[in-house]
Structure formats: C-alpha cells, structure tokens
Amino acid sequence: MRQLQSLLVFLAAILTFARASSDYHEQLVLRPLQPSLLLASFNFQSNTTWASFEQQNFRYFPRSLGQILQHANTRELHLRFSLGQWDAENWGARPWKGAREGGTGVELWAWVEAETDEEADGRWLTLTNALSGLFCASLNFIDSTRTTRPVLSFQPSGYHTNSTASKLHLLHGTLPREVVCTENLTPFLKLLPCKGKAGISSLLDGHKLFDASWQSMSLDVTPICRSGSEDCQLQITQTTDMVLDIQRSKRPRDNPIPRPIPSEELKCDTSKPYNSFDTCYPLDISAQEEEWSLSQIFGHTMKGSCPLAENESYPVCINVPHARDIYTSGAREHKDESGYMRCFELTPQEDFEMILPPQDLSERAPLEQPLLYAERSFIGYGQERGGVQAILTNPSPTDAVDFVYMESLPWFMKLYLHTLKAKINGNSEDVIQEMYYRPALDRKRGTQLEVRILIPANSTVVLTYDFEKAILRYTEYPPDANRGFDIAPAVITIGNVSIRTTSLLLPLPTPDFSMPYNVIILTSTIMALAFGSIFNLLVRRFVAADEAEKWDVRALRLIIKGAISRFARRFMKKTTKKD
Amino acid sequence: MASLLSSGVLLRRNPHILKLPPYLSFLCVLIGVAWLLVLPLDNYSRNTYISENALLPGQVHTYFAGSDQNVFRGYKREIDALEDKPNIEVNDKLEEILKASGLKVARQSYEYKSAGQTYTGENIYAILHAPRGDATEAIVLVAAWKNMEGKLNRSGIPLILTLARYFKRWSLWSKDIIFLVTADSTAGPQAWVDAYHDTHQSPAIDSLPLKSGALQGAIVIDYPFDHRFHSLHIAYDGINGQLPNLDLLNTVVSIASGQMGIGVSLQQMWQHSDSYQDRLQTMLRGMMNQGLGHASGPHSSFIPYHVDAITLQPFGDGWQDEMAMGRVIESTFRSLNNLLEHLHQSFFFYLLMQANRFVSIGTYLPSAMLVAVNFTIMAIFLWVKSGYPQSTNSKTPSTVEAEEKTSQLNSSQKGNAKVITAEESSAVRERELLLPLAVVAGSQFLGVLPLYIFNHTPQNMLTPVFVSFAVANNALPYILSRTLTHLFNPTTQQYQLIKSFSLLLLGLFLSSLATLNFSLAFLVGLLATPLTYIYPTSSTSALSYVLKAVLALVLSVIAPTAVLVAASWSWGLSIEKVLTQAAYGWDVWGMNTQVVVWCVWWPAWIVGGVLLFGRPREETTKLNERGQESKAVI
C-alpha cells in the first residue's frame, strides 16, 4: 500500500509540475489479498487549464460534466458509488486511504459558489438533478432532508482563491438505498477519453465489477493551482476499486454455478487416518498462492494501452513480492527496489496478458494497518426506541488518533442527544473534544451530528446514543415498508483520511397496509347501521297496537270478497238490463 | 330511543332474566369447548399457503451433493472424535474448520444462574458476509452442540460446517449468513440472541465481538443420529407461546414435501393419518406447548426478538440422507435470501393441525374469549344481584306473583314516554365495597409470594418447599375463610361482591391474555370454570355439608398445585424437574407462565375456596336486631 501511495505521489508530481497543459494518465494497480482475493485499483486522471475550461474548450475533460459544473457554479465535486463492505481486519487500510471512497450507495459532496444559502440550495438542486441524468442514478432524491452542511468533517482538497473561498458552500448528500449497478458504470466509462475501448479501462466489465466483494467508483473534480500563481488547472480523477474473489471470477460465464467439484479434484488432508475415496477432510489451502491470470479475472485480456495516455510509462502495476512468478505477454517488466512492487511497460497495439501460476510462497506484501477500526450497529429492539453503538478502535500502540465522527440521520430517527455517551475501554471518560449538532425538523431536514474525539493509543471508544422512532404518515412509507429504512454510513475523518462505517437498516413501526381497506369497510358498516336506525326512528310513525291497520289474511279475504261481489253486482246489473 | 331505554330497565328487573346468567355462562363454556373441537373439521380450518410472493419456495435447483458429501464425512469424523471433549476444545476445532472455509469467527461465553445451579458454556459463530451486501440483514443457521434431550448433534454440526463451506462459494447471497454453534439448546441461543440485541447482562454474558445486520430468520438443525432418516419434524413454538411467521413454516414444508419428497410432521405426531383425531391431537399438543410457554428448541429464543425461527429435526428410519437435509436447508436459505422485506405477510397467530392445515386467530379466538366471557357474565350478574333488594323471607313462586300484583307501582317519566315499574325493583341497595375489594386485592397481591418462592428456591429444596406449600395451599382457603368470618362476619352481599370482583378480574386477565397466548388463556379458563359456580351457604343441613365436602374435593383437585402434580405425573417427570425447568425459564428465557399461574389463576382459586367455606351472616335478622336496638335506645 505504501508503495502504491508513493507511486501516486510521484504520479501527482508529474501531473502538477511536469506539464501545465492538458494531459491524461491512467494506471491499474493489482494487489492480492487474503484469502484468495484480488484488489484492483483503476485510476484515470486528466487535467485541463482553467482558461480552456472557461472557454468550453474541452479535450480530455468530459464536456457533459464540464457544462453541468459551469451551470451549477460548482467549484469542487466529489461523487462516490459504492457497494459492499471493506474488511479492514483482513485487507488492511483502504485504497487511497479512503479518500476515494464513499459509503454504501451514492454519496455526493460539492463546494458550490453562491452568495446566499438559498442560492446555494438552488444550485445544489440543479447539480443533483443534472448528475442524476448523467449517471443514471437517483441523485435527484437528495432533497433537503438528505442534505447536510458539514462543519467539521470535510475540507476542500483543491485550491480556491480567497475571493471564491468566502463564497463557497459545502453541501453533502447520501443515498444509502441506491443500488449501484451497470447503468452507473456505462456513463462512468463514457467520461473517459478511451471510453473503455483501449487501455486499462477495457478491463472494466459490469459483470465482473458488480460481482466483486467490495467496489467503489469515484469521480473528483478539483481545481489545482501552483501556489501564488494564476496558472490554475482543473483536475478530474476517476477511480474504480474492487475486491474480486479469485475463485468466483475464474468460473466461466456460461457456467457460473458453483457445483461441487469432482471428488478426485478435492484437495484432502491425506494425513487423516480416515481419508479414503469417500471421506475427505479438506486441506487448508489458504497458505498457497492462488493461480490466476488477467483474462480469467476480467473475462478478457487488456486491449493494449490507451493511445491518449501518451506519457504514461507504467499503466499496470502489481503489488506482490519479487519472488512471485509472473508471466506476461506484450509488456516489459520493471521491478522497484522496495521488493514488493513491479510495473509493466506495455507494447502499444498489442494485447496484454499476465499469468500467475500457483506457488507456495511464505512471503507476502505487507499490509498497511488502518488508522482506526470502526464498526457501527443497532442495539435494542422493538418498535418504539432503539440505540446506536459505534465501536472505534485505535490499533496503534503509540499514537493517539484525533478524528471527527459525523452522522447524518433521517428526521424520523429522533436522536436523544443527552444519551450520547463515549466510553473508553469501558470507563466513562471525557474523550469528546468538540461537538456540532443540528437537530432535525420533521419532514424538512435530518439530524446532523459531528463529534470530534481523541482516542489514546491502543484503546477502544464505544459511542452510544438512543433514539426514538417516529411514526410516518401513511403515504410516506415506501412500497417495501417492512424492509426498513436505510441509515447512511457514519463518516469518520482523520486528517485527509476518511473511513465509512456500514449502513444500517432501521425497522420503523409499519402499519398493516390492508388496514385502510378494513377501516373503510368497518366505518361503512357502522355508518349504514347508524343511518338505518336513525332514519327508521325519524320516518316511522309509532302507534298503539290496537290503532294499527290490520293486515291479516282475513282483511285480504274481505277485499277479495268485496271485489268479487262488486264484479258480480255489475255482471248482475248487465244481465238485468238485458232482461 | 326512550322506549328502548325503558324496556332495558324493565328487562334488567325481570326476575326471569335474572335467573338466566348462570346458565348463559355455562353455555359460554360449553360453546367455547365445542368451538375448539370443531376446528379440525375441513370447514373450519384452512390449507396453508405462501403469502409472501418473494419467497418462491422450491423454485431453485439445489446443488449440495457430490463431493461435498465426502467433506461432510470428513467433518463428521472430526466431530465424533470430539464427543466428550470440553466446550473450549470443541470450539477450538470448530474455529479451525470455519476459518479454513474463509469465514470470520468469533466466540462468546456465558453464565446463567438459576435455582442455585450455574449454566455455563461458550458459543461459537462465523459470519459469511454477503458478497455485495453491506451487513444490513442477516439470516442465521444454528446447530446446538447438545440438543434438547442432551444428545450430541452428531450429524447437525458436520452439516452446518459443510454448508458453511458450500455457501461461501455462492455469490448470490443478499444477506449475511451467520453460522452459530451453541454449547447447549436452551441457554446458549438465548445468550447469543440477547447479546446480539445488546440486552444481555454483562459481565456474566459476553458481548458479541462480531455483528451483522438485522436478523431476518433463523433455522436450527437438530440431527442427533448418523443413520438415514424418514421425515422431518418441525418445532416452531417460541417462548411465552409466541410463534414464528407461518410463511417460514410453509416455506420449509413446501420445500421438504414438494421439492425433496420428505414428509413433515409437527408436535411429535410421528404418524399422521389426517383423520379428525390426529388433527385434534396435533392441535391440542400444540396448544399444550404454547400454553406452557417453554422453549421447544434452540429456535425459541429468537422469536421474542421478532426473528422468525424454527427447528428442523429429522426422525425415523428411511432413505433420506444428510445431503437431502442439507438441500432442504439450502433451498430454504435461497428462499429467505429472496426476501425483500422482513417476514410480515402471513399469520403470526395460528393453530396447526397438520403440516399444511391451520386455523387462524379469527377462527379460534372466540373459543377462549367465550370461556373468559363466562367469568365476566357472572361477575356482572353478581354485581347486579348484589344491588338487588333482598327479599325479606323466602317466597314460593305463587306468592311472588301475588306480591307483584299487589305491590305499589311507580311511574316515572322520561321525555314523553312513561315507564311503570314496581317500586321495589327500582331501588338499588347500597353495596358495601371495602371488604370485598380488600379481600380480592389481598389475594391478588398474595400471588407474588409463591411466584417469588418458586423462582428463588435452590433446586434441592424445591420438592420439600413445594410439598409444604401444597399442603398449606389446601388449608389456606379454610383458614382464610374462618378468619374472615371471625373478624368481619361478611354478609351474603359481601360474598357476592368478593366473587364478582374476583371473576371480573379473572375474565379481564384471561380475555386480554387470549390475544397474546390463546392456549394458556384457554387452559387456565377451563381449569377455573368451576369457580364460577361456587356459592357460600349458611345452611347447616347434612346435605349441604356433604355438598360442601364434595365441592372442597373438586376445588382441591383443580388447585394449581394439584394440577402441577398431575401434569408432571402424566409427563413422567419429577416435581423437582418441572419446577427447576420453570425457574430456569423465568431466569433465562424470560418465560412468564408462572405470573399467569400465581397472579391470575391462584388468587381466583383462593377466593373460590374462601367462598366455599364462607358462612354468610343473616342480613335481615341483623337489620331487625339493629332496628330493635335503636328502638330500645329511643
């Protein structure tokens, strides 16, 4: 990881100092992880001068994005699409130290230039809606309830002149529910100069990317200026990081089902006394280096280098000990002196393939320890209240860690600030240095909580707080109401390193949605009954029993008799007249 | 409306109507029982169906077979070798196996104290993270090292290990899968699920070092033998009579019987011919388990946390092997994996009479409600009766009629409607409430005493304590009644009111309990029914003494203590075992059947006994005496 970082610094140095005009760089760094995983970090970076950006003279910088930024007066933009969970215990520190990573779903933050807060909100709305269209993501759902204005957590990474800096507004929004998928990758690739046709971007395939155990796509636009000069550039950096399961990726696409392997191919522990043709204690093969090749992992070989990345000398690097055997075609190998990194100079117009055979290797590239382990979960149960517990561990035996923990919670999760407690190694001690709290307004904005905490070396801080679950209106529930509501990951900022916890699923009291139907039926019945009886009482005439008209068979008989006699009399009259 | 009101008043005063309630309440009990008995008929029960469309049970191919069976046999050899090893050593091996499968493993140790005994153990669990998931939801696969009978889960543990290795290969999981191996079937799962929701008591129970998201379901494997099996037995009762969502059960039934061709049985009905008797028996066994509110398997601890869970127990001798069992679990997990929402569609309140026949709460609830209503009817009747002016002397029916004709008529006017009633009946006698209220409240509070005693006595003392309590319990009503007569000499009206309040409370408690734990409410209601018909008499004839003796016998037979003895005798368990289990349930599971027994049923029984031995004072003579006294003073 350290090698990777040093390489990046070198790269950045080239970018900022060597050439002032437009240029484009791309690089892929591969790093095998335990057990049988592969981290692939793709980095694409291009610069444009501020002057040509202002004149809408785009070369490497994508026009579609540039126009959106100009329209929304956005000076700095960070967009993240992430999926999965980074396993810091086994995989070490995050790629790019977490700087190019977002929480699960979509995360967006930007510095928007505006005179007033209202104007900034309007421009933010423009920005989210435009980006929503560009990236086929539901970014337009980042409304006021999901937008926060972080105070302690985010710092601009680019250079802003004093005059613009005073007018900049930082806005931050997350969509933890958004499922990142192929429709987000395609527009992402389209922003690249080589558009996924050549160079390392040709390896990016939706099937493989979204089968990864963890993946993150990022897009950053930052202004870069040489100190004290007006010679400014706008830098766009796109990265894609993914942790691929080697065994899973090696499965052919037409037969992806992990059927049991034939028993002859099973690797058994033959030292067991019971080992036989039908009994097998599987051998622990994690000690052995997995066999893989670039085309197995990504589905096809790399289609040469991108011709636009003219001065990129090493487009592909791999972080393995020098003792690891690697066979390549269409490239020249360069080992660096640290012993764990080697890079490949590609032959243009030729497919690049890399094969790593199985190998017993005692040595491994060292893992960089993360600065902080963070884990967040719900505590308690029931429909009314709950609690959140964040366990933050400083693994360093010597250094204390000072960080900002930021939560942006939806309004229906009503935080009780007085229950916010930080326990260090089980004791209540004052570790909270500073706090910024902006309470929620129902249906208008969410809770924003930023806490600066200092963890001494080798300690664990447990941060807990309680909350109450609000009852939503009938129409405010999503169609899958019983799934629960996603709570955005907490953002932990340690200097320029950022860590995100996992998102949470909050179950809210959910009505039975067939209830309105039942209520309608019940009320209709009651209305009918009440109306019926009252109407009856109002209209009906009450009389004594003897006053009532008799309607019995005798009366009917009398009527019939009368009718017959009348008829008979008339008939009689006729006959008498005749007579 | 006015006419309606006046006719209501008339109706209330009607002597024929006043005779009705005891018969009515008896009729309620009869109908309640009959209602329950007709439930197994085709017309009153329904076939089960899958309500949640996302589940799609049995719609996927299962691939758990082939060389995985070799691995299963290998693991099984390892587990067999660990049979008598201590918990920690077992978990060391399990951890090694689970880690080799590429899962994250964590352990949790726990210690419970109950009835002077200590229950300790260590749970081990592994989490398979959903490949693209974010640890927001999880499903749990549980196997207890020892099952409910204390037998080693001989095939269940290797199966869970093999499935862990197999599930790891799939990339389609949308929820995390937690593989949990608990040290025992009762305390271990409870400790784990409590700690998962952070409601455990530290430091006796460790917090969980590894966690995932909201639990959506749990399946328990209880496979304690190593031969092939015939069918699958599903245990589904939770603690305090709570049940898992019927969709979960239906899913497993449909997968096992529809996809795999494995029969399913419930409530230890190893043979089920789908006859009326078998259905009724299944239902009654289910009601008994629900009423007792105890855990019927490791799954029971999950249900109070709204995590739907069931235990699968293969049984019999047949040709289904452990891989078939594995495929049932695989297919069930694929179904649960499809869930978009927490299981909520189907029924949470049901009685099952067969694996695919059930009655829902709307159909069966009236049965327990009618039994509970019987008490309320009598309570209201006694309240009305206690306010009814007492006749000065006993009259024959003919004289009553004559008297009514001659009694003065009162006319009252409401609106423009005239009501003519007998003067005698419109007067309400003043009720003396203090003593009845004190007696009923006192007996209710007294219930805390046995509740405390039986939950806090050490195990070796339970039998002697119970025997002495049972003896004291039989004498208690007589002693209380004598004391009451001696100190306060209550009138008939006061006895009526004591009974009224007691029955009112009983009816109230039982009808609300019926919505939570139908079976318990029904059973307690039935056992308390004779209490409705116990009257105190002041008569001293030989017949009344014989009647009293017979009633006293009946009363002591339906005493909670006697019922407990009878029940443990019929189950072939010792009293000590039953009481230890009850205390264990109270301390570990949070079972509250005891509360119902000692604080609802027992007080009502005590009051019944007090009534039986009561000697109501002759009110009228007293009044006359007083009148004479006052005259004398004047």
Condensed to tens digits (0 to 9), the pLDDT of residues B129-143 reads 988 888 889 999 999
Q: What is the pLDDT of residue A187?
A: 92
The proportion of chain A whose per-residue pLDDT surpasses 70, expressed as a percent, equals 93
A390-399, B381-390, B480-489: least confidently modelled range:
B381-390
Helix, strand, coil fractions of chain A, as percent rounded to 5: 25, 35, 40
Q: Domain A373-506 is in which class?
A: mainly beta
For the stretch B559-604, pLDDT in tens is: 999 999 999 999 888 888 899 999 999 999 989 899 999 999 999 9
Kindly determine whether residue A380 and residue B197, on different chains, have CB atoms separated by under 8 Å: yes
Determine contact: A538 vs chain B, CB below 8 A.
Answer: no
Amino acid code (one letter) for B393: N
* Separation in Å, CA B496 to CA B235, B378, B538, B545, B604: 46, 10, 13, 20, 14
Three-state secondary-structure class, residue A408: strand
Q: What is the pLDDT of residue A15?
A: 46
As a whole number of angstroms, the distance between CA B490 and CA B615 comes to 8
Kindly determine whether residue B306 and residue A502, on different chains, have CB atoms separated by under 8 Å: no
* Closest by Cβ to A503, choosing from B136, B169, B211: B136
CB B259 within 8 Å of CB B358: no
The proportion of chain B whose per-residue pLDDT surpasses 90, expressed as a percent, equals 53
Q: What is the pLDDT of residue A287?
A: 67
As a whole number of angstroms, the distance between CA B532 and CA B612 comes to 11
Q: What is the pLDDT of residue A577?
A: 60
- Looking at per-residue confidence, does B536 or A67 come out higher? A67
* Closest by Cβ to A502, choosing from B64, B102, B135: B135
For the stretch A384-398, pLDDT in tens is: 899 999 999 999 888
Q: What is the pLDDT of residue B246?
A: 93
Chain B hits for A210, CB-CB cut-off 8 Å, are 132
Cβ neighbours of residue B257 closer than 8 Å, sequence gap 6 or more? B263, B264, B355, B356
- Looking at per-residue confidence, does A393 or A196 come out higher? A393
Q: Which one of A90, A264, A274 would you mutate to disrupt binding with B, by most B Cβ within 10 Å of its Cβ?
A: A274
For the stretch B236-275, pLDDT in tens is: 999 999 999 999 999 999 999 998 899 999 988 888 888 9
Averaged pLDDT of chain B: 86
As a whole number of angstroms, the distance between CA A27 and CA A317 comes to 8
Chain A hits for B198, CB-CB cut-off 8 Å, are 379-380, 387, 389
Closest CA to A386 of A287, A304, A507, A483: A507
Closest CA to B246 of B358, B93, B116: B358
Kindly determine whether residue B171 and residue A245, on different chains, have CB atoms separated by under 8 Å: yes
Three-state secondary-structure class, residue A475: helix
Q: 């005693």: which residue's tokens?
A: B453
Chain A hits for B65, CB-CB cut-off 8 Å, are 260
* Separation in Å, CA B230 to CA A539, B262, B270, B279, B317: 72, 7, 10, 21, 5
Q: Which one of A208, A280, A423, A533 would you mutate to disrupt binding with B, by most B Cβ within 10 Å of its Cβ?
A: A280
**Residues forming beta bridges with residue A49, ordered by sequence position:** A233
Highest mean pLDDT among A10-24, A151-165, B515-529, B531-545: B515-529
Rg (CA), chain B: 30
Chain B hits for A38, CB-CB cut-off 8 Å, are none
Three-state secondary-structure class, residue B158: helix
Residue count of chain A: 579
Determine contact: A212 vs chain B, CB below 8 A.
Answer: yes
CB B321 within 8 Å of CB B65: no
> Has residue B27 got a pLDDT over 90?
yes
* Closest by Cβ to B214, choosing from A36, A84, A505: A505
Average pLDDT on B413-435 reads 61
Q: Give the distance, in angstroms, between the CA of residue A453 and the centroid of all CA atoms in the same chain.
A: 26
For the stretch B304-319, pLDDT in tens is: 999 999 999 999 998 8
Kindly determine whether residue B170 and residue A258, on different chains, have CB atoms separated by under 8 Å: yes
For the stretch B143-178, pLDDT in tens is: 999 988 889 999 999 999 999 999 988 888 999 999
Task: For residue A551, name the pLDDT band (cuts at 50, 70, 90).
Answer: low
As a whole number of angstroms, the distance between CA B376 and CA B354 comes to 34
CB B266 within 8 Å of CB B234: yes
- Looking at per-residue confidence, does B431 or B105 come out higher? B105
Q: What is the DSSP string of A360-371?
A: E-S--PPPPPPS
As a whole number of angstroms, the distance between CA B579 and CA B460 comes to 11
Q: What is the pLDDT of residue A89?
A: 85
Q: What is the pLDDT of residue A259?
A: 86
Q: Is the peptide bond before A35 cis (omega within 30 degrees of 0)?
A: yes
The ipTM (two decimal places) reads: 0.82
The two tokens of residue A566 are: 């009348």
Kindly determine whether residue A286 and residue B100, on different chains, have CB atoms separated by under 8 Å: yes
> Has residue A127 got a pLDDT over 50?
yes
CA quadruple B385, B391, B395, B398: dihedral sign: negative
Q: What is the pLDDT of residue A21?
A: 53
Chain B hits for A481, CB-CB cut-off 8 Å, are 341
Cβ neighbours of residue B487 closer than 8 Å, sequence gap 6 or more? none
Three-state secondary-structure class, residue B359: strand
**Residues forming beta bridges with residue A108, ordered by sequence position:** A79, A173
Determine contact: A517 vs chain B, CB below 8 A.
Answer: no
Q: Which one of B5, B171, B321 would you mutate to disrupt binding with A, by most A Cβ within 10 Å of its Cβ?
A: B171
**Residues forming beta bridges with residue A434, ordered by sequence position:** A452
Q: Give the distance, in angstroms, between the CA of residue A542 and the centroid of all CA atoms in the same chain.
A: 74
Q: What is the pLDDT of residue A437?
A: 93
Q: What is the pLDDT of residue B7?
A: 54
Q: Which residue of B has its CA nearest to A486?
A: B136
Q: Which residue of B has its CA nearest to A282?
A: B71
Q: Which residue of B has its CA nearest to A214?
A: B132
Rg (CA), chain A: 36
Min Cα–Cα distance to chain A from B125, Å: 17
> Has residue B188 got a pLDDT over 90?
yes
Kindly determine whether residue B131 and residue A84, on different chains, have CB atoms separated by under 8 Å: yes
Residue count of chain B: 634
Task: For residue B189, name the pLDDT band (cuts at 50, 70, 90).
Answer: very high
Task: For residue B192, name the pLDDT band (cuts at 50, 70, 90).
Answer: very high
Q: What is the pLDDT of residue B359?
A: 92
> Has residue B425 got a pLDDT over 50?
no
Determine contact: B348 vs chain A, CB below 8 A.
Answer: no
A51-60, A285-294, B392-401: least confidently modelled range:
B392-401
Q: What is the pLDDT of residue A22?
A: 60
A424-438, B165-179, B215-229, B363-377: least confidently modelled range:
A424-438
> Has residue A1 got a pLDDT over 80?
no
Chain B hits for A263, CB-CB cut-off 8 Å, are 66-67, 70
> Has residue A515 got a pLDDT over 50?
yes
Q: What is the pLDDT of residue A227?
A: 64
Q: What is the pLDDT of residue A228?
A: 61
> Has residue B398 got a pLDDT over 70?
no
Kindly determine whether residue A212 and residue B137, on different chains, have CB atoms separated by under 8 Å: no
Q: For residue B208, how many other CB atoms are within 10 A of its CB?
A: 22
Closest CA to A18 of A312, A306, A341: A312
Averaged pLDDT of chain A: 85
What residues of chain A, 464 to 503, have a C-beta less than 8 Å from chain B?
480-484, 486, 502-503
The H or E element spanning position A574 is helix A553-578
For the stretch B328-362, pLDDT in tens is: 999 999 999 999 888 888 888 999 999 989 998 88
Domain boundaries, chain B: 58-355, 433-622
Min Cα–Cα distance to chain A from B577, Å: 33
CB A187 within 8 Å of CB A217: no
The two tokens of residue B194 are: 């409590």
Domain boundaries, chain A: 2-252+262-360, 373-506
Average pLDDT on A275-280 reads 87
Kindly determine whether residue A379 and residue B198, on different chains, have CB atoms separated by under 8 Å: yes
- Looking at per-residue confidence, does B151 or B404 come out higher? B151
- Looking at per-residue confidence, does B148 or A3 come out higher? B148
Average pLDDT on A536-554 reads 74
Q: What is the pLDDT of residue B405?
A: 43
Q: What is the pLDDT of residue A531?
A: 84
Task: For residue B430, name the pLDDT band (cuts at 50, 70, 90).
Answer: confident
| Fold annotation for B58-355 | Aminopeptidase (3.40.630)
Long-range (24+ apart) CB contacts under 8 A made by B22-25 are B22/B378, B22/B381, B22/B532, B22/B533, B24/B377, B25/B373, B25/B374, B25/B375, B25/B377, B25/B378, B25/B381, B25/B532
* Separation in Å, CA A198 to CA A286, A348, B354: 35, 10, 64
Determine contact: B366 vs chain A, CB below 8 A.
Answer: no
For the stretch A98-123, pLDDT in tens is: 888 888 889 999 999 999 999 999 99
* Closest by Cβ to B74, choosing from A281, A375, A377: A281
* Separation in Å, CA B202 to CA A274, B110, B362, B588: 43, 9, 42, 14
DSSP character at residue B1: -
Count of A–B CB contacts within 8 Å?
133
Q: Which one of B55, B61, B67, B207 would you mutate to disrupt binding with A, by most A Cβ within 10 Å of its Cβ?
A: B67
Cβ neighbours of residue A336 closer than 8 Å, sequence gap 6 or more? A3, A342, A343
Amino acid code (one letter) for B42: D
Burial class of B324 by CB neighbour count within 10 A (0 to 12, 13 to 18, 19+): buried
Q: What is the pLDDT of residue B132?
A: 81
Chain A hits for B74, CB-CB cut-off 8 Å, are 268-269, 272, 274-275, 279-282
